[in-house]
Amino acid sequence: MKTLHLNLKKEWFDLILSGEKKEEYRELTKYWESKLFDLGSKTGISFLHEDIMLPKKYDTITFSNGYSKTRRQIIVKYNGLDVGLGSKKWGAETNKPYYVLKLGEILETKNIK
């Protein structure tokens, strides 16, 4: 099982834990491109003379709140990736495109009281 590990601020962690927040946003940067796409595989398809990359195949996302050994964690089913505008109530800036990680069901929690 392949897992993407992400650290979140308490506000966003709690919204995912409650089931209210169903997507997580990451900026369109080279860093996140390297985390979310398989840069070594090209599809052979070209868009505006750019090769289109395939998304990495993650099964789950482990969200952590903090860095301690006893930090709170949520393991969530990963339902894919889009590029689009995010919701302001979930932390996105207005009219700014993001990588949108689609979140499925919560599979496991750790250190949640």
Q: pTM value?
A: 0.85
At which residue do the structure tokens 């052979």 appear? Answer: 44
Domain that holds residue 45: 3-110
Q: How many domains does the chain have?
A: 1
- 74 close to 2: Cβ distance less than 8 angstroms: no
For residue 12, the domain's CATH number is: 2.30.130
pLDDT tens sequence for the chain (113 residues)? 899 999 999 999 999 999 999 999 999 998 998 899 886 655 554 444 456 678 899 999 999 998 999 999 999 999 999 999 988 888 889 999 999 999 999 999 999 87
Q: Where are the beta strands (DSSP E) in the chain?
A: 3-7, 23-27, 37-47, 50-55, 60-65, 72-85, 97-110
Give the span between the Cα atoms of 44 and 20, in whole angstroms: 38
Spatial distance between the Cα atoms of 109 and 60, rounded to a whole number of angstroms: 13
CB 75 within 8 A of CB 61: yes
